[in-house]
Structure 1
Amino acid sequence: MTSKSYEPIPSRRVAFLGLGVMGYPMAGHLARAGHQVTVYNRTESKSIAWCSEYTRADGQKDAISYANTPRQAVQGAELVFCCVGNDDDLRSVVLGPDGAFAGMQAGAVFVDHTTASANVARELYARAKELGLNFVDAPVSGGQAGAQNGVLTVMCGGDKAAFEAAQPVAMAFSRAFTYLGDSGAGQLAKMVNQICIAGLVQGLAEAVAFGDKAGLDMNQVLDVIGKGAAQSWQLDNRGKTMVADQFDFGFAVDWMRKDLGLVLDEARRNGAKLPVTALVDQFYADVQAMGGRRWDTSSLIKRLK
């Protein structure tokens, strides 16, 4: 995790559920910003490792702890943050006798950073309301590097008051934490984000493969076109690694296919036409069949070589 300056705000008692490649550093930023953080992870050893690594900004180790269930982790927390794998994982840490909702105090806010379906966001929002709780769907963009550096872009749906309660604390790991509308709006915005990325990465892959076939120095070409209308984050950060055939980093193909599955399911419900996205999803299936399940999404170019 790189150094980051944190806006001074009063210390809050928070919980973080899920210490994967995203959640682990996100929870760390909350600790380093001075909050009292209790974490939960399905694999206890990860929680123990996290507690040994992070201290609060003031050095108080007793402000950092872990719990054996989500219910225990959230007790007394004003804000509960979560980042797990999918809809089923989310339900498993939220619902049931050991779930977060069973342990949260009235009025507390649950902020879900999982990339999940808009349907599960609305389902858990409604359940939270029945229990006197708040639920904000808040998927993120920026990948593992964004989480480590504390500069994630967060897209939020739910009640405005719950969003406003969470925003100052969540800025510990965010560059932007933005309210977009009613429950589900955050997840729908993340789908828009993934649609854009899918098309961009395929276009960049085709461009690099074409330039190679044409005998161009593609590193030089990328430097040139990156100063013009073709510039994008993908070109700046993935173009030269495509040229170098390097894919052992970044956002995994398996994760992208999960996200695009959510996108295509939602499109079937709302009637949106996504011919390019559907095609790129199948190209990612080809990459999986090549053994690239954990390669970065830029590995689309492997199909073209």
Structure 2
Amino acid sequence: MHNQEVILEETTKAKVRLFIKREDLIHPFISGNKFRKLKYNLEEAKKQNQTTLLTFGGAFSNHIAATAYAGFEQGYKTIGIIRGEEIASKINENPTLTFAQKHGMEFKFVSREDYRNKEDSNFIKSLQNTFGNFYLVPEGGTNKHAVKGCEEILETSDFNFDYVCSAVGTGGTIAGLINCSRLRQQVLGFPALKGDFLQTEICKFATQSNWKLITDYHFGGYAKINTDLVEFINHFKERTAIPLDPIYTGKMLFGIIDLIKKGYFEENTQILAIHTGGLQGIAGMNSHLKQKNLPLIQC
């Protein structure tokens, strides 16, 4: 995908160049890293002669929406195990789940406690008893097939950049970027979640050590945002015409711009930020913000 340079007051003042790889434009419904992560998982499902995909996600999961559409497009039955039993009665109020259901996904809503068992073999067995055979796509899509897909994000022309930046959810995207980057490049990850467990997850798949997690920009944890972040996302779009999602890319770009202002990057540094998509989640976040009488994300 093409790289779009964004020239901002902050980048000009710091004498650095910032480019955004527009992975969000890969596909209208399976955008960014979800397209990359599903590519080889779908190939593997086909090799195994599976006709059903089963996966896990929260109420506004980009991964749930993307898996539903990919299954619809390629003729797979799809099943989503959704965190939170209380959501079952609110599907119509949820744009992500409405979209997934419209494209054929069947849901099973489980308690948060049961959801924690998503990698437990007995829990998986109980799902097989309920739904029959399926190809299991992990939460967020991260496994060796997903990492292989994410290793295709960087192109030859991207090896000129000094830094490659990515938002981090389950760790698969950044692992792929680390593996295909050049050793002289520094890969920076901006976790959308609190906690140190991501380091271990990334190490399972990363084959190089030229990376670092910047943990100061999660805004309180997964799917937590505040007025500062909403204002940043809206102002960024006004200045660049690039929409950002509030869960991942908004936090990453907020972090990058803040680091630029603080002098983290040397003069003449070239930075590539990966836009991993996820824009479908804006509608759900706006309904949440509306309930709290907070400013909305302009989409």
Q: Which has the larger radius of gyration?
A: 1
Higher relative contact order (CA 8 A, sep 6+): 2
Structure with bigger helix share is: 1
- Same fold per TM (> 0.5)? no
What's the TM-score once normalised by structure 2's chain length?
A: 0.37
